[in-house]
């Protein structure tokens, strides 16, 4: 592209130079010719007064010698013969032919005849005898072309300078255009090779800046789409933990024997593969929730507790559910709430001994719904780390995605998640689901302050749903 632009500019400039330089050179040549013959006409005109007075040879010779052309032997005077005045008078060197002299006399106007070494200006002039004499002025080729060569050399130099200057400017402009294009191509190649951090500096002409901005926006969208896809894969894989937990518990009750050992080995292998998929697909940027989704939290909790209650009965766990008697509408998709509940309850079964009691409580306020999941297990040593994606609680089989799913669910409504100590002696996970949509940080701090003031009453005599 750069060289194509240089070639185009070179061709255009060359055509412009040729279109103007050649006619201008011809004009300069014609002007030099006109200047030479005009000077010759002036020299011939100086003899006219003498011829009008006399045709005497000595006097005419003095008149011719007094002129510049005559002193250089470039002037001749041809006076025809007269009856009373005598014969013809010829002064100076004749260069034109007799026929050319006769033609000039007959026409009665100045003419130019080509002679060896230049041109002869033939100027007819009336003499005292009534005849017409011819003044011949020789104009050498050097005077006809005087200054033409210099002028053509100047024109050629100017034309060459214009061509070189246009090529230099075109090369600079081409570099300015090609470099951003090369950067864009290199960034596209890097992005195709999997380097998702490839971006293009927005520089160059307006069109290339727009292309760079569009490329950067596309790259950002690609990164976002990949992040959401990986996150979705991680979340879907994490949801497999619930049926795997059931399989593991059922496999534990099979007793001894080769079939039971193979089943337990297969379940353990499957759990390892699911954990590996989750860790591989894990990304930092969360996936957003649709603000239009909604469900009845009480109905979803009752449905999921029917499933987990059966498992709890097999492990001799005491289960308590409160606050789900009346419909509780929340701005969360049904599947997302079910996944969050399964993640929390799955942690209870996975990380607490058999026989450990747990409870699920729902509290409804004017602008929020609080879901509490508490257990009587050993608790979580580092609650802040457990809420960070990919951290987990350090126990075998923990990927750190379970509580991250819960956190993102709460934050999609403008709420949050807290982990604390329950009155049962173990862990309490509190989900704050805002009913008014996402709020500012200041508004959320106000809600937290209000919750801190209300929580002591819940600890003293609520529905068995202590606060963290």
Write out the chain's pLDDT in tens, 468 residues: 667 777 777 888 888 888 888 888 888 888 988 898 889 888 888 888 888 887 788 888 888 888 888 888 889 988 887 655 556 788 888 888 888 888 888 888 888 889 898 999 998 988 877 788 889 999 998 888 888 888 888 888 888 888 888 888 887 777 777 777 878 888 888 888 878 888 888 877 788 888 888 888 888 888 888 777 777 766 666 667 667 777 777 777 777 777 777 777 777 767 776 776 666 665 444 444 444 458 999 999 999 898 888 888 888 999 999 999 999 999 888 888 888 888 888 888 888 899 999 999 999 988 899 999 999 988 887 777 777 654 544 454 444 456 778 888 888 888 999 998 898 989 999 999 998 765 443 344 454 544 444 444 333 333 333 332
The separation between the first and the last C-alpha atoms of the chain, rounded to the nearest angstrom, is 67
Secondary structure (3-state) at 18: helix
CA pair distance 287, 339, nearest whole angstrom: 15
Secondary structure (3-state) at 55: coil
**Which pLDDT score, from 0 to 100, does residue 399 have?**
41
Q: Which residue has the tokens 């492990």?
A: 315
DSSP string, 238-299: HHTHHHHHHHHHHHHTT-SSHHHHHHHHHHHHHHHHHHHHHHHH--SSPPPPPTT--EEHHH
Which two three-digit tokens encode residue 53? 């007075």
Alpha-helical segments (H) within 352-464 = 383-386, 402-411, 441-461
Q: Which residue has the tokens 């603000």?
A: 291
Element (H, E) at 304: helix 297-314
Strand pairing report for 358-364 and 319-322: parallel
CA pair distance 182, 191, nearest whole angstrom: 14
Residues 6 or more apart whose CB falls under 8 angstroms from that of 435 comprise 329, 330, 331, 367, 368, 369, 413
**Which pLDDT score, from 0 to 100, does residue 143 have?**
86
Residues 6 or more apart whose CB falls under 8 angstroms from that of 27 comprise none
Handedness of CA 156, 162, 168, 174 (dihedral sign): negative
Determine how many CB atoms are found less than 10 A away from the CB of residue 432.
22
Q: Taking the mean position of all CA atoms in its chain, how far away is CA 3? A: 22
Whether residue 79 contacts residue 88, with contact meaning beta carbons closer than 8 Å, is answered with yes
Determine how many CB atoms are found less than 10 A away from the CB of residue 316.
10
Which two three-digit tokens encode residue 14? 């060359």
CA pair distance 349, 345, nearest whole angstrom: 6
| Length reported for the chain | 468
CA pair distance 408, 415, nearest whole angstrom: 9
CA pair distance 201, 219, nearest whole angstrom: 13
Q: What is the DSSP letter of 82?
A: B
- What dihedral do alpha carbons 5, 6, 7, 8 form, nearest 10°? 50
**Which pLDDT score, from 0 to 100, does residue 28 have?**
87
Residues 6 or more apart whose CB falls under 8 angstroms from that of 199 comprise 187, 215, 216, 219
């Amino acid at each position: 592209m750069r060289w194509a632009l240089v070639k185009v500019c070179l061709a255009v400039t060359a055509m412009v130079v040729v279109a103007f330089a050649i006619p201008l050179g011809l004009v300069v040549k014609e002007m030099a010719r006109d200047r030479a013959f005009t000077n010759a006409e002036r020299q011939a005109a100086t003899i006219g007064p003498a011829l009008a007075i006399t045709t005497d040879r000595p006097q005419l010779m003095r008149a011719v010698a007094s002129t510049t052309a005559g002193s250089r032997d470039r002037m001749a005077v041809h006076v025809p013969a007269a009856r009373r005045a005598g014969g013809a008078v010829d002064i100076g060197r004749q260069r034109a032919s007799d026929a050319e002299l006769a033609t000039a006399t007959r026409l009665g106007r100045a003419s130019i005849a080509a002679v060896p070494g230049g041109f002869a200006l033939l100027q007819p002039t009336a003499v005292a005898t009534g005849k017409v004499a011819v003044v011949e002025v020789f104009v050498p080729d050097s005077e006809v072309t005087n200054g033409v060569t210099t002028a053509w050399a100047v024109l050629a130099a100017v034309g060459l300078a214009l061509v070189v200057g246009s090529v230099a400017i075109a090369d600079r402009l081409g570099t300015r255009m090609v470099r951003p294009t090369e950067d864009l191509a290199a960034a596209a190649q890097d992005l195709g090779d999997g380097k998702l951090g490839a971006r293009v500096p927005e520089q160059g002409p307006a069109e290339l800046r727009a292309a760079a901005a569009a490329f950067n926006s596309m790259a950002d969208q690609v990164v976002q789409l990949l992040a959401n896809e990986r996150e979705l894969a991680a979340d879907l894989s994490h949801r497999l933990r619930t049926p795997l937990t059931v399989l593991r518990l059922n496999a534990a009750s099979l007793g001894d024997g080769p079939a039971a050992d193979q089943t337990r080995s297969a379940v353990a292998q499957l759990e390892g593969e699911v954990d590996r998929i989750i860790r591989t697909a894990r990304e930092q940027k969360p996936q957003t929730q649709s603000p239009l989704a909604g469900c009845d939290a009480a109905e979803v909790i009752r449905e999921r507790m029917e499933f987990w209650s059966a498992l709890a009965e097999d492990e001799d766990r005491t289960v308590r559910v409160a606050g789900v008697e009346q419909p509780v509408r929340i701005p969360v998709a049904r599947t997302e709430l079910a996944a969050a509940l399964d993640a929390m309850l799955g942690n209870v079964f996975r990380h607490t001994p058999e026989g450990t009691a747990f409870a699920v409580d729902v509290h409804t306020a004017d602008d929020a719904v609080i879901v509490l999941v508490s257990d009587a297990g050993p608790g979580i040593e580092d609650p802040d780390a457990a809420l960070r994606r990919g951290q987990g609680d350090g126990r075998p089989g923990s990927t750190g995605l379970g509580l991250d799913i819960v956190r993102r669910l709460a934050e999609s409504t403008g709420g949050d998640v807290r982990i604390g100590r329950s009155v049962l002696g173990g862990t309490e996970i509190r989900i704050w689901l805002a009913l008014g949509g996402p709020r500012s940080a200041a508004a959320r701090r106000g809600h937290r302050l209000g919750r801190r003031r209300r929580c002591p009453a819940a600890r003293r005599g609520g529905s068995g749903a202590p606060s963290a």
